Structure 1
């Protein structure tokens, strides 16, 4: 109802507004008609006066001019009036007024059209608003929970809450990253100085690490040598100890057998003495009793036989133990056993003293080896620590020879260490230069270390293969254009210093020293190794020459085409 009332009021306003315009337009038409009538009357009056004047002056031409004034209007009358001088001001006023009226009519028509168009747009807008009001009135009813729209609204609200939550999380993450970016921008100012300081520290640490690595190798080598010597010495000492224990056990067994034999002999001697006493006592009794001679003599005979059997058994055991059958030899064996025991004890003492001396000598030699390894010069104090056991001329010469060999080996080890360091630096430089070349799919760059030298070399080899393949493709393309890289390389090689012909090394057949041959081999190896900077300059010069030749020949080829 409200919509209908509003629509009616709007239409009434439009009708009233349209009615005002129509009335104004009607009034303007009336005024325009009145002005036209007035203009026509003034034209007629002017024409009559001019005709009367002309008739009075010309005579015969009066009728035609009057007829022309009556039958004309508008343009013809204007021409005739223009021939007379008096009606010009009135004509000008009328034409000006007509022009103004035409302009007003045009403006009013334009305004009428604009108002009509605006009225039409308003009506359309009113219809749209009415339709929307109708839809809103239908939707203004409170929906129930079973309504699918309500369920959809709830689902959308839940999605909106989740979206808002995600948006908040994203904002938090954005703030965090903005803080990180600000911090990185602040740190970017001092990053270069920190990087230079870190690089300097890293270089110092690497130098220290190389020195410590060399010292560690020396220490490990000394440790392994000491362990080997200790193992050998312990094996020798163990074998000697086992031999001494076996010999001691044998001698203890012999001594025990000797003690047993002595105890057996003493027991038998005691039994013999007791038997002799009993025999004497029995003899005395027999003498005192003449009737019992036969009985006593048989008992004595039986006892004597038992004693003889015991003596024979003991003698057999002694012969089996000593390995001799003569009684004198058995007695001599017992006498010599004491001398053997004393000599064995003396030999044991001498062996122990010798072992102590060798241990001391080993300790002194170990200290000397350490001094020669870390001091790299002849240390007088170390020589003073050498015991007197090696002070004889032969031991001194052997020690001097060992010292020379150790010094030679130390120099050899230092040279090999320098070569290894140069090799590592070369591999690192090569990997840095080839860093721009992509690796095959699925591989990652391997950091350089002692354990990953082979892996880094394999990656460099793969990259070099890719570079060689690319160069081969480019070479084929250049050969198709008439350019050969081999010729350029030969020219660049010809510019370098030629190798001296017949540059051969003749070995001295009289030289038999292995150390000298090792030194010559290492010197040759060092001479063959090209310096890193020299190799870099040579490669860059070759590439520059090839690139210059290529640049010079490519424009010529283009000009020929």
Structure 2
């Protein structure tokens, strides 16, 4: 009975040992596979940590660059002392933070050493039961997770510590740079104050120049008013003279009518003696008519161009225009020089303003009032520059007006010729052309004055008006009443081809029609004179 039971127990023990061996083998295989997996995971974690550290560094560098740019922009609006104070406070706070991070780092290192010791202690020394092996595996996994967490924290702490050290170094550099710049601020401020004093002195000088220019402007206005009053008086005198001439023309018309009636009475009884006398009279009248017409036309053109009747006054006016032209040229040169000086001063002040803006942030708060004063002075100088430019434009317009008047006068006097040695060839676009034109006009006027000197101007004017009237009346005579002119007595024809064709086609007209035509001719002549005077004034 006992022999039959005993083998069964041994078999059971053997079976149990065999099962235990199988379990130990399975446990060893599981342990080895888990160790291989753990090692593989550790390698992967190490690679990922290296990648994270690299990414953290790149992100920190980018953030550090942005932070430094923002901090630099923030310090630009502060004074030197304020920026130094802020930097010192920031450095102190960073030092405190660095000390706290160092303490945390040391604490974590001690904790890591303790965990490593505990890990070594809990590391399996041999094979045990299946339950203790599973517990140790779980414990190791928990310890590994804690270790990874602690390593991550340690790496973050080290990275923050390095970043804090970099920031501290940058702040130290900025602080040293600001301290070096603060040593030169006093000399720069002294130089700026000296420049500001010079600018104020120059501003006072320019203010005095402006006052002088203002007085000159008022004087010019007074002279202009006097000239306008004188022009008004001369216009009244001309109107009075025109009225007198009109009355004289009416008298001449009456006399012409009487002559016509007398000619009609004696037209039926002509004889040879009267015809011969008429021919001689017409020949003498033709010569006188030619001379009178020439003087009349020249004097009329001068009157239309200048608007005066006295020859001496005409000469004085042209002389005064020459002096005025020279004075305007001189003023224009002075204004151009002054304008260039003002532009240079503006550029200098603008450069000073830019230098004051970007030379340093510390002086901005103390020099802000000085900068505003400089800007006001710059605006005043700009206004003065604009005023000088306007005056320069006005002088140019006045010079162009004088030039147009001289050209108009030269056109009126172009029938008077000068000697070849007095005429000089000058480009019409040059400034000397105006002076040359004025000289030629003066010589022509002197020539004309010499021709009419010693003659009775009133009688000459009256004869010129009468001769002009008779010439216009003769242009309306019928074709049958013609005058034969000898070759030596021929004069330049004053009528155009169109008027000659009208004379050829004209028929006999009545006295009333002749009167109407004469009145129309006189009215058109007076209107032309008024229009020419208005255009010359404009």
The interval holding the TM-score normalised by the smaller chain is under 0.3
Give the TM-score, by structure 2 length: 0.23
Give the TM-score, by structure 1 length: 0.22
Work out which of the two has the higher radius of gyration on C-alpha atoms and give 1 or 2.
Answer: 1
Higher relative contact order (CA 8 A, sep 6+): 2
